[in-house]
Structure 1
Amino acid sequence: MVTIYDIAKLANVSAMTVSRVINNTGRISESTRARVKQVMQELNYVPNSMARSLVKQETKMLSLLITDITNPFYTTLARGAEDTAMRNGYKLLFGNSDEDYAKERDYVDMVLSTRADGVLFAPAGDGSAEHLRMLQRRNVPFVILDREVPGIEADHVLGDSREGARRLVEHLLALGHRRIAMVGGRQDVSTARLRYAGYLEALKLADVPFDSALVHDVGYTAVEGFAFVDALLSAEAPPTAVFAANNFLALAVIRALRERGVRVPEDLSVVCFDDFGESIVLDPFLTVARQPAYEFGSLGMQLLIERIQGAAGAAPRKIVLPSELVVRQSSSALTGV
């Protein structure tokens, strides 16, 4: 294995000089720096970042913990985070909690054992507070993405879930719909609560009575054959439209409706939070509240790096990114009622 002493011998410099070139520290002439780098290249030497971290107390590794890697929102977010990390000289470790607190805890343990310099953290829900406090006790910087956790003060990059949900429901109301069902996430997740609040606000502003039978909290992950779809369709006053709290829920609802011979949007309109991205869907169909997923990751990573590099004492910062209403074929005007 090539060592810095091998490089020092061939370059006719001290080992300390080689270390300074690797870590870009100290005063070294450009000719000496170039000679050392040339020898490193000839010997195919790759600096041992973990060894350097023993001296510099940093690993140049960051972690991104998300809740569902199969969701295009998070894959695009991850791209934004990785691009920004790489531009700033950091490597990125990925973790996927699957909305599961136990799995999330395992990844937090991994972050602590690998001595990552910081974490970009999309919490599974309110129960993530325990895991975030573990990071705080070990002085590991983190930035929270997408969801807030009660009692945790930190930098955040969030979407405007309440406003986006309200606009989606107002879109359906403008099309003449009054019986609007909502399929939401667990109520221990802040975005689920906010999207439910936006749904209620839109109904209230339009003087449309709230019907609790039209609201179902089923979690954010896609599941097969929702049993509640049968209950909705067989009700004495069935809905004419459905607001799904995220894109995977919308797809699952549409699949269940099609299995039952219900056409979208001819028989029932469907709208949802979050888009799928151009690389996922060639012919976009769903009406959505589209969030800037790439910016979530990029801005979150920038805040994290700033914390690591000297903003530790600054007050917590919160960036709220607006969504964009994108109207497509899955929603249409109510007719024949």
Structure 2
Amino acid sequence: MVNIKDVAKKAGVSMMTVSRVINDNGAVSAETRKKVEQAVKDLDYIPNQIAKSLVNASSRTVGVLFSNIFNPVYSSIISGIESRAHESGYNIIISNATDYQSSVQALNMLVSKMIDGLIILPVEPKGMNNGLSSKHALGEMWQFYEDLKNLLARRNLPCVVIDIDINSDLVEYVCHDYTKAARIGIQYLIGAGFRKIFQINSELKEGLWKDRQDVYEKEMRAAGLESEIRVEYCANSTEDSFDLVRRLLENGDVPEAFYCANDILAIGAMQAIHSCSMSIPKDISVMGNDGIYVGEMIIPALTTVDIDSLKVGERAMEACHNFIEGRRTKHKILIEPRLLRRKSVTEKTQGNIV
């Protein structure tokens, strides 16, 4: 394997001079720099990044921790992080954790890699559940964030947390505007003429799930539809949503529209409606919330609210880069959502539509 000594020998300079050129650290004449760069190219020399990080006190690496590799929202966020990291000259190390213990281990592993910064995607209670009660799983989730705060208090490590306010001024926050997204979705259904609207929501009933229920109920009341409020709960999966909606339909509980807290639940609801030989949107309309790519691939294409997870990832990496460079924004960055009108909702009336 070619090493720095080989490069120095070919260029006719000292190893210290080669190090200065590679790390862009210290005065080197243009002629000498050219010789070293040519030797590096001729020998196909790849600098040792760990050694380089020791010299520069920077690894140009950001750690990313998330808890559900199957969540399409997280896939979009990570794509946005990767795009901005590449543009900024950073590498990223991604670690997926499945429960509380593995989340703590992943966090410690990332820190041990001499990362310059850290981005934390939401640590999902479902990913930690493993048969535990929702209350216990939520307790583990918040314990992880306490562990994170304790670690950050001990180390000067720039950190960006996505979507979860962990009540700490040691981190930057980049968030989907879930509240506005929920408002856009339910206002669209009400404006389209629907009255009997059931919401399908997560059994966790915390955080963004509670926010989406609160918005649904508030907008239904504002439209004079308090008597039509109906919230049904299940685990956050297409399978559980399918089972819930099929059971409702078989029992004769048939709404005009299902307003689902996210697209995963909406897709499960659509599958259940089809399984009962009912038509979407002729018999029942379905509204999602998230804008995941799968929504435009199903039939009919899912009407939803795009929370722009790609941009969340981009802004998270930008915030982390600025934090590393000493340019903290010190405020929560909210990403604007937008309505995606597709084919799963029929507009019963044309007035007052968002």
Shorter-chain TM range is 0.7 to 0.9
2:339 to 318, 325, 329: 325
Partner of 1:86: 86
Instruction: State yes or no: 1:174 paired with 2:169.
Output: no
**Distance in 1, Cα, partners of 2:318 & 2:211:** 26
Which range moved further: 13-22 or 51-60? 51-60
Q: 1:217 to 1:108 in 2, by over 3 A?
A: farther
Cα distance change of structure 1 residues 61 and 254 upon mapping to structure 2, 3 Å threshold: same
Within the candidate set 140, 147, 157, 1:140 is matched to 157
Residues 207-286 of structure 1: matches in 2 within 5 Å? 207-209=224-226, 214-224=230-240, 226-234=242-250, 238-277=254-293, 281=297, 285-286=301-302
Query: Are 2:241 and 2:265, in contact at CA under 8 Å, matched by a contact in 1?
Result: no
How big is the alpha-carbon RMSD for the aligned residues of Structure 1 and Structure 2? Answer: 2.6
> Are the structure 2 counterparts of residues 282 and 242 from structure 1 closer, same or farther at C-alpha, using a change threshold of 3 Å?
closer
After TM superposition, the score normalised by the length of structure 1 is 0.87
Report the Cα distance in structure 2 between the residues aligned to 1:36 and 1:333, rounded to whole angstroms: 68
The aligned counterpart of 2:37 is: 37
String of CA shifts for 1:90-142, please: whole Å, max 9, x gaps: 111123346x4444333212212222221111122552412422441333221
Native 8 Å contact 2:177 2:334 kept in 1: yes
Question: What SS class does the counterpart of residue 80 from structure 1 fall into?
Answer: helix
- Where in structure 2 are the equivalents of 1:60-79 lying within 5 Å? 60-79=60-79
Q: Which amino acid aligns with 2:201?
A: G
Q: Aligned with 1:273: secondary structure?
A: coil
Whole-Å Cα distance in 2 between the matches of residues 105 and 221 of structure 1?
25
Give the unaligned 5+ runs of structure 1. Answer: none
**Deviation at 1:259?**
1.8
SS across alignment from 2:47: coil
Q: Which structure has the highest helix share of the two?
A: 2
Deviation of 1:282 (Å)? 8.5
Is contact 2:11-2:35 (8 Å) kept?
Answer: yes
CA–CA separation in structure 2 for the residues paired with 1:14 and 1:90: 29
Say which SS state the counterpart of residue 285 (structure 1) adopts.
Answer: coil
* TM-score, with length taken from structure 2: 0.84
- 1:119 equivalenced with 2:125 (yes/no): no
Instruction: Indicate how the Cα distance of structure 1 residues 226 and 102 shifts in structure 2: closer, same or farther if over 3 A, else same.
Output: farther
Using the alignment, how far apart are the partners of 2:241 and 2:184 within structure 1?
28
Alignment check: 8 A CA contact 2:267 2:295 kept: no
Distance 1:220 1:109, change over 3 A: farther
Give 5+ residue unaligned stretches, structure 2: 125-140, 350-354
User: Identity of aligned pairs, percent?
Assistant: 30
Q: 1:163 aligns with which of 149, 161, 180?
A: 180
After superposition, the Cα gap between the structure-2 partners of 1:131 and 1:222, relative to the gap in structure 1 and judged at 3 Å, is farther
The answer on whether the counterparts of 1:149 and 1:190 sit within 8 Å (CA) in structure 2 is no
Of the structure 1 ranges 129-138 and 295-304, higher mean CA displacement relative to structure 2 is found in 129-138
Deviation larger for 59-68 or 38-47: 59-68
Equivalent pairs, count: 330
Check the 8 A contact 1:58/1:117 in 2, yes or no: yes
In 1, the alpha carbon distance for the partners of 2:112 and 2:146 equals 17
In 2, Cα distance between equivalents of 1:165 and 1:225: 18
Give the distance between the partners of 1:196 and 1:210, measured in 2 at CA: 15
How far the C-alpha of 1:283 sits from its partner, in A, is 7.5
1:46 Cα deviation after fit = 0.7
21 and 190 in structure 1: CA distance in 2 versus 1, 3 angstrom threshold: farther
Kept after mapping to 2: 8 A contact 1:161/1:198: no
The letter of the residue matching 1:122 is: L
SS of match in other structure, 1:47: coil
1:333 offset after TM fit, Å?
4.0
Contact 1:82 1:92 in 2 (8 A): yes
